[in-house]
Amino acid sequence: MIRVDNVSHWFGAFRALTDVSIEVPANQIFGFIGPNGAGKTTTIRMMATLLEPDRGRVSVDGIDVVEFPSEVRKLLGFMPDSFGVYERITVDEYLEFFAAAHGLKLSTRRRTIDACIELTELGAVRDRLVQVLSKGMKQRLAIARTLLHDPKVLILDEPANGLDPRARIEMRALIEDLQRLGKTILLSSHILTELSDMCSSVAILEKGRVVASGSVDSIGRTLRPERGVRMRLLAPADDAEQKLARAPFVSGVSRDPDGAFRVEYRGGDEALADIVDYAVAERLRVVRIEPDQNDLERIFLEVTKGEVQ
């Protein structure tokens, strides 16, 4: 749905992006990650037709953002990390203004605004002035504004920035609802634990280059081929760790402070099944097995060096 092909960009003598290539599949939530100064905002502004690449091509749904920017804007909704709001008007008036700016016909404008307010759960505050809204409600209002022209693609830059825990949970639920409605979503955020749970795939940018891309699991497997599980045993004997270490495919065993055994192994589900069969044959009473998840925070620390341009 969004393609960035070998894009480079300079600001004077400063090279902000170098041969960046990203593909965001349709109807997915795609995480865009990187330290401050990595080039995320520059790339996002190109996707949103606000900046032209010096080299390479950016397209949305097959439409070139440089050649046909007006067509791309019909498909795309962009919520920047900092957005201006007109504070001395009501929520309803705010959305009415932007609906008119999008050229929505009078015959459908009210219905569209009502639908966006319902989706973002702003009904209780629609008659309030924007200036009295909480940070979370203003973020919801920004998303409602972004949805007015029913775009196929959403670019959300730090939508949970500055929100309290409840507002972040509600924002996450809203983004997942939008994805279920068929929207393609590129999501930039510094809250990596939430991205890990929401995103089908991610791209990690550092110093203007893509250092990793793909699903969180596939990136993790590339960095660390061994798979891992936490295995909890009922009343394990003193030699349980040694027995597990002798199981087929096992490359390492350790014990966590809570008593569970962390077992690393090579292979897929068949290998894990053989390990469990071996444990049962050795009279180890397996209570629960918890597969390790590839943690996006760990991956981010492994593929980036913390350098700035």
The reply to whether 2-220 and 227-292 are identical in fold is no
Q: Percent of the chain scored above 70 by pLDDT? A: 97
Please report, for the chain, the start and end positions of each structural domain, with discontinuous segments joined by +: 2-220, 227-292
Give 31-72 pLDDT, tens digit per residue.
Answer: 999 888 899 999 999 999 999 999 999 999 999 999 999 999
Give 74-112 pLDDT, tens digit per residue.
Answer: 999 999 887 777 889 999 999 999 999 999 998 899 999
Where residue 215 falls among pLDDT bands split at 50, 70, 90? confident
Going by the DSSP 8-state scheme, the letter that residue 123 receives in this structure is G
In the prediction, which pLDDT does 308 show? 58
Query: What does pLDDT average to over the chain?
Result: 91
Q: Which CATH superfamily is domain 2-220 in?
A: P-loop containing nucleotide triphosphate hydrolases (3.40.50.300)
Give 131-145 pLDDT, tens digit per residue.
Answer: 999 988 999 999 999
Q: Percent of the chain scored above 90 by pLDDT? A: 70
Q: Is the pTM of this model over 0.85?
A: no
In the prediction, which pLDDT does 29 show? 95
Does the pLDDT of residue 225 top 80, yes or no?
Answer: no
In the prediction, which pLDDT does 161 show? 81
In the prediction, which pLDDT does 294 show? 59
CATH 3.30.70.100 fits 227-292, yes or no: yes
